[in-house]
Every structure is written in structure tokens, then in C-alpha cells.
């Protein structure tokens, strides 16, 4: 089934975690870059029209561009991830999109709430344990990752590989404040 998703790409994380993602996260082999998911699943790419893109941009206009850091390792049972600080802008983007597209709940409604995260390892708990330990050593040695979020990408998988479909640029904070 074809699927799409909104994500924030984090290329500055690749030097620290790229090899771990290659070893422990199968989505890297499908073209998924280091990212923080904003909303998945989203609609079939064949149904994404210019009007849908406009509605998504309008929703994302509620959140201004921001800086964040990734300096804390956290876990779900079979996943090791980096937790962004602050998490609130990511949650706000997810909520804005859900407000406009209520048929598309985060993770299909499988989980309570939204936990922004950059997956490093996913699949089983022993691999996630190993990845989390190695990731913590790297953070201790090199420090956290600092990044800016100035855009959100809409990616799609209709061929077995994830491809970028559209980029939504976020407003600058000073511009958004004037528009209020």
C-alpha cells in the first residue's frame, strides 16, 4: 500500500548516528534519512493534490522555525532513539496537521500522545539495548547534536523506497509574531 509521511530531516545527526542506523534501522535501506516524524501514516500519494499541499502548508504555518538539540537517549521497548529538546514544536506541528486532516492520526492512533523522536535502532529490544549503549557513549564523548528546523518534508513510499514529495517551509519566528 502506498503511504506518505511528514518528517523533519536532521542531516546534522548523520555523522554521529548514520552507521548505527544502517546496522539497527531497516528503514535506512529504504531511503529514509535521519528524521523526526511529524505525522505518519498520511494519505496515499495518489490523493495528494495541490489543495492538500496548501492545507498542509497552512497548518504548518502555525509553527515558526526553531532550533533544537538531540542529547538524550531514550527507549521504547524495541526502539532506541534520540529525544529532541524542546519537543513542543514537533508536537505542535503534529497537532496542527491532525486538526486539518483528522482522518490521519499519529501512528494510526496506536499510541497515546505524541513522543517526538529520532529513531536510531528499531526491531528488537536486544539490538535497541546495544544501540542505546553505543549511542550514549558517543554522546558522552562528542556531545549532543544541534539542529535547526526550518522545513518539514512530505515523503512517500509508493515503490518500496521512500522519496521526497514536497517541502514545506516554516515561517521565521519574527514573521509569525507579526502575523498574530
Q: Mind listing the pLDDT tens digit for each residue in 32-77?
A: 999 999 999 999 999 999 999 999 999 999 999 999 999 999 999 9
CATH number for the domain including 118? 3.90.1140.10
For residues 16-28, give the mean pLDDT: 96
pLDDT at residue 132 in the model: 97
Confidence of residue 174 (pLDDT cuts 50, 70, 90): confident
Mean pLDDT of the chain: 94
Residues paired with 79 in a beta bridge: 76, 122
Host domain of residue 102: 3-179
Cell 546495544 identifies what position? 130
Contact 6/66 with Cβ under 8 angstroms?
no
* Distance separating alpha carbons of residues 15 and 38, to the nearest angstrom: 22
Q: Which of 148, 24, 36 is nearest to 83 (CA)?
A: 36
Give, as one character, the DSSP assignment of residue 127.
H
Are the beta carbons of 81 and 117 closer than 8 angstroms? yes
Residues whose CB is less than 8 angstroms from the CB of residue 120 and which lie 6 or more positions away in sequence, other chains included:
17, 20, 21, 24, 25, 80, 81, 82, 131, 132, 135
- pLDDT of res. 75: 96
Domains identified in the chain, total number:
1
pLDDT, position 173: 77
Q: Tell me, what's the pLDDT at 178?
A: 54
Residue 20 pLDDT greater than 60, yes or no: yes
What's the pLDDT score for residue 172?
A: 86
Q: What is the pLDDT of residues 111-161, one digit of tens each?
A: 778 999 999 999 999 999 999 999 999 999 999 999 999 999 999 999 999
Amino acid at each position: 500500500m502506498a503511504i506518505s509521511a511528514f518528517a523533519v530531516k536532521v542531516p546534522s545527526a548523520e555523522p554521529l548516528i548514520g552507521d548505527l542506523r544502517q546496522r539497527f534501522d531497516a528503514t535506512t535501506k529504504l531511503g529514509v534519512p535521519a528524521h523526526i516524524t511529524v505525522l505518519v501514516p498520511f494519505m496515499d500519494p495518489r490523493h495528494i493534490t495541490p489543495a492538500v499541499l496548501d492545507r498542509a502548508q497552512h497548518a504548518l504555518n502555525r509553527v515558526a522555525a526553531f532550533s533544537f538539540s538531540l542529547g538524550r537517549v531514550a527507549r521504547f521497548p524495541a526502539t532506541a532513539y534520540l529525544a529532541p529538546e524542546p519537543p513542543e514544536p514537533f508536537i505542535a506541528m503534529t497537532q496542527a496537521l491532525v486538526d486539518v486532516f483528522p482522518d490521519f492520526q499519529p501512528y494510526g492512533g496506536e499510541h497515546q500522545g505524541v513522543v517526538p523522536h529520532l529513531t536510531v535502532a528499531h526491531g528488537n529490544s536486544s539490538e535497541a539495548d546495544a544501540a542505546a549503549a553505543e549511542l550514549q557513549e558517543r554522546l558522552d564523548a562528542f556531545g549532543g547534536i544541534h539542529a535547526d528546523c526550518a522545513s518539514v518534508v512530505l515523503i512517500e513510499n509508493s515503490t518500496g523506497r521512500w522519496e521526497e514529495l514536497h517541502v514545506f517551509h516554516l515561517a521565521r519566528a519574527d514573521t509569525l509574531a507579526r502575523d498574530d
